[in-house]
């Protein structure tokens, strides 16, 4: 049985968090850590070593214990330590608030799912998709302030894989009042923290102990309360259910690989095969990072099952979301676990694409850690 202190810490902190909470962002970052080349990790450490942040504020979930003294301790530049930074600086960087989400004009799930075909709400290029492109370019060009660009990128990749950050209906579900296990909350919060906390608490106990033959996994864990959940995701998901999907997850369409967009409003002439991509994919995507291409299937889930029939109507009652029917759909497909894995793998792919040296393994995007 797990200790009462980590349990209480988990429950008390998750209820206060938002935007995947610190937990979701740290899980995405930890999974990414498992895929980084040595040269990539060295470059990241060099960047973060010059960065100033309050480690106690960021590393709020490092309460658990790991029952092994033989596992290499993660370095102080672990990406999870900065994963929640972008949420913590919203107060003094108010301009960054709109970069955590994207709202398609005319989007109103579950009846209507539109993802950029009619454009985006808000100011041009001020959304999470453009933010991922901009921070990636900042790192590629090694501009001053790369430490903040890196921390923003780590966070935005987590945000993009939280489905409620991809729709503008009632501010991403913040305006939809629901109940979760009898408690009044909003639909955004259910996806930000309630579901993930439930899955962490229900992780099978066999994952409490370190995996004896998986150093590439264990070396990147930090003794956090969610370590067992990450082990389950990696073994049952990445090495199991989704093992043949990884390459497609981290790939960008070949049709856009040779198109380099400038920072102006001009668009290149497109061959016929690319006409349907002229808006909006070419505003954000290239061969290194293709956030629109990655986010579109996640957004499609809004019209498939994310919004249950009980809250489909704008004037719905405050209904209970924690039902066997709803949770069974999520558990069967491992929806949330898949989003976290995709976010981590794609983050690693971008960082390896920016920083990996030519002498390392030939994979263009990244490597699968050995179990």
Q: What is the DSSP-derived secondary structure letter of residue 65?
A: -
Query: Tell me, what's the pLDDT at 7?
Result: 39
| Residues 149/139, Cβ–Cβ less than 8 Å | yes
Q: Is 266 exposed, middle or buried (0-12, 13-18, 19+ CB in 10 A)?
A: exposed
Structure-block tokens of residue 304: 């498939």
Query: Tell me, what's the pLDDT at 68?
Result: 33
Distance CA(231)–CA(342), nearest Å, equals 15
| Residues 8/324, Cβ–Cβ less than 8 Å | no
Query: Tell me, what's the pLDDT at 51?
Result: 63
Question: Within the chain, which residues score under 50 in pLDDT?
Answer: 1-19, 53-73, 258-279, 362-371
| Residues 284/263, Cβ–Cβ less than 8 Å | no
Measured between its terminal Cα atoms, the distance across the chain in Å is 26
Query: Tell me, what's the pLDDT at 83?
Result: 96
SS3 254: helix
| Residues 129/160, Cβ–Cβ less than 8 Å | yes
Delineate the domains of the chain, giving CATH numbers in brackets: 4-62+79-256+273-355 (1.10.575.10)
Query: Tell me, what's the pLDDT at 229?
Result: 98
| Residues 320/123, Cβ–Cβ less than 8 Å | no
Query: Tell me, what's the pLDDT at 6?
Result: 41
* Residue for token pair 């949330």: 336
């Amino acid at each position: 049985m797990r200790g009462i202190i980590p349990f209480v810490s988990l429950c008390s902190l998750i209820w206060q968090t938002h935007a995947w909470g610190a937990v979701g962002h740290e899980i995405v970052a930890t999974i990414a850590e498992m895929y980084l080349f040595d040269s990539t990790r060295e470059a990241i450490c060099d960047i973060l070593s010059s960065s100033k942040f309050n480690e106690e504020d960021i590393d709020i979930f490092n309460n658990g214990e790991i029952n092994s003294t033989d596992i290499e301790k993660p370095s102080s530049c672990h990406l999870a330590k900065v994963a929640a930074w972008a949420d913590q600086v919203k107060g003094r960087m108010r301009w960054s608030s709109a970069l955590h989400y994207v709202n398609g004009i005319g989007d109103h799930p579950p009846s209507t799912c539109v993802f950029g075909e009619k454009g985006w709400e808000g100011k041009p290029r001020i959304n999470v998709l453009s933010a991922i492109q901009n921070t990636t370019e900042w790192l590629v060009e090694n501009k001053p302030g790369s430490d903040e660009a890196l921390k923003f990128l780590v966070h935005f990749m987590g945000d993009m894989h939280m489905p409620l950050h991809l729709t503008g209906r009632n501010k991403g579900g913040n305006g939809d009042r629901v109940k979760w296990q009898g408690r009044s909350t909003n639909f955004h919060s259910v996806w930000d923290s309630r579901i993930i906390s439930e899955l962490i608490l229900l992780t099978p106990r066999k994952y409490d102990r370190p995996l004896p033959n998986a150093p590439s996994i264990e070396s990147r864990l930090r003794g956090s309360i969610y370590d067992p959940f990450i082990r389950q995701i990696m073994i049952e998901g990445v090495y199991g259910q989704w093992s043949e999907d990884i390459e497609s997850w981290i790939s960008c369409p070949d049709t856009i690989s040779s198109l380099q967009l400038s920072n102006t409003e001009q668009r290149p002439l497109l061959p016929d095969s690319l006409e349907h991509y002229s808006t909006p994919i070419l505003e954000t995507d290239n061969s290194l990072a293709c956030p629109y291409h990655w986010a579109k299937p996640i957004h499609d889930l809004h019209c498939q099952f994310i919004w249950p029939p009980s809250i489909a109507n704008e004037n719905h009652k405050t209904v209970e979301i924690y039902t066997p029917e709803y949770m069974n759909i999520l558990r069967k497909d491992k929806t949330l676990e898949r989003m976290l894995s995709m976010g981590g793998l794609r983050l690693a792919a971008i960082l390896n694409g920016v920083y990996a040296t030519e002498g390392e393994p030939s994979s263009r995007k990244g490597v699968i850690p050995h179990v």
